[in-house]
Structure formats: structure tokens, C-alpha cells
Amino acid sequence: MRGLPPARLMHAIGDLCARYDVDRRALARDAQITWDQVAVLAADPRVTIGSASVNYSVLTSLNDEAARRDIAMGRAVLETALQRPVCHVAIPFGDAYSFDRKHLEMARAAGCASTVTAIPDTLDPETTDPHGLPRLIWNDGMTLRGLRARLAGY
């Protein structure tokens, strides 16, 4: 479904939620943090806040201009909310099907210092491009031992 253009995807999700009596607004509300919570995180000097695209679209489902706009607007919204520059962006979903190299270049051209994907990998200071960084995902099922193993490159 993620390969659908945004309008068709929203229609399909709406149809499924109505059919199975799922309150998608409640799901979204429960899964996201508030702007006040973002502000608390952003005030911590140990935290770096980065943006995603404004609609969290699968970038490969958009034409180039729409993808550029989605990336730029996501950053602009966050910069407005935080009242400071945002220099990093995460690719929505970040898997190999959700973006192409050109989307990383769009973020670079927009002035982002780094772009994060969800492609598993380890960092090598000599060869890792800051536009295409791997993202380590930690979920409820991962143990601290498992996290240590991932951080060590296993």
C-alpha cells in the first residue's frame, strides 16, 4: 500500500479504518508526542532534533517537485515550532522502497547536514556519507544485550 500515491493511500486507509471500525485519529494521537514534548526534548543540549517530510510520504511515490516540497516543508514546520534551524532529516520509513539516492541529494541540496535512512548498517567515519546514514531501531522486543550487539556491528 505504501507504493500508492498519497491521495490514494489516504483513501485506502480511510476505507479500511471505516470498514473495521478503527479510529485512526485516536491511533495517531496515542503514537505521537506533542509539540510541548518536542520543545522539552529540544531544550536538552544532549538532544538533536531533526525533521521528516511534512506529510511523511513515501518519497518514491511522489514526483521530484512534490518530494522536494515535502522535505522542505517538514523542515520549515519544525524550524518554525522550535524557532531555530533544523539541520538533519530522516527519510520517512527509510527502507529501500521508500526513497532513492536522488531524495538524499534533495536533502543535501536543501542544506541539511545529514539524512538518516532505516537501512541497517554500521558507521565507518572514513566511508559513511552523512546523507544516507543508517538508523538503529530499538523496539519493545529488543533487549539491552541485543542493542549492544547492534551497536557493535552484529
Percent of the chain with pLDDT over 70: 96
Give me the residues paired with residue 88 across strands. Answer: 114
SS3 133: strand
Going through the chain in order, the beta strands assigned E by DSSP cover 88-90, 114-116, 131-133
**Least trusted range by pLDDT, from 68-72, 81-85, 118-122:** 118-122
pLDDT tens digits for 26-41? 988 888 888 999 999 9
Q: Place 82 in a pLDDT band, splitting at 50, 70 and 90.
A: very high
**C-alpha pair distances (Å), 37 with each of 33, 81, 107, 132:** 6, 12, 26, 27
